[in-house]
Amino acid sequence: MKRRTLSVLALVALVAAAAIPASMASAAQPANKQRVMLVQKHRFGAPNGTFVFHALTPGPLDFDSGRFTLAAAEKPYVVRDGQRLAVYIAFATLTGKRGTFDVRWRVEFAGAGEGSTVGTGTWSLIRGTGAYAGATGGGRLAAVVMTPRGFTTAQFEGVLRAAPS
């Protein structure tokens, strides 16, 4: 019994010792992927608004904020499980303190009652300057349009890859 306990302990120690260098090596590598969040706000129908950019994991991009301009086009509606959804393709140029970047997205909106709509979709970073130069990536988004109150807010979350060095 004692001999078997020692062999199990030795095996656990060996596995732990092998894992330490591997974890140290991965921690030492530069992070080329970074999870981010972007929050945009503007008056309903306005072509511009404000944004805040948050880095959700460590990496080359950091907190930023500024203004954006927006161009959107309505596409033919779709029906999913009996619900009619308005489809929009949008393009925004965001100018912050750390640089400028262009984002393209597609979103499907559903009525949420009393003139409000909610939407979900996908987004991608097209190009950037400054801190955003060479970055690529994208993710998912959720948006709320409160038509009676006159504001729109959207939250984009995803992964950006840093420019190759």
Instruction: State residue 13's pLDDT score.
Output: 38
For the domain covering 31-161, report its CATH number: 2.40.350
Q: What are the domain boundaries of the chain?
A: 1-30, 31-161
pLDDT of residue 24: 41
Q: Is the pTM of this model over 0.75?
A: yes
CA distance 66 to 41: 11
Q: What mean pLDDT do residues 141-151 have?
A: 86
Res. 115 pLDDT band, cuts 50 70 90: confident
Residue 106, CA atoms < 13 Å, CB-side half-sphere: 7
Q: Give me the mean pLDDT over the 135-145 stretch.
A: 96
Specify the pLDDT at position 156: 98
> Helix or strand or coil: residue 30?
coil
90-108 average pLDDT score: 97
pLDDT, tens only, 7-29: 433 333 333 444 434 444 444 33
Closest alpha carbon to 135 in 103, 159, 162, 105: 162
C-alpha span between 44 and 142 (Å, rounded): 16
**Upper half-sphere CA count for residue 140 (Cβ side, 13 Å):** 3
pLDDT computed for residue 4 by the predictor: 45
pLDDT (tens digit per residue) in 53-76: 999 999 999 999 999 999 999 999
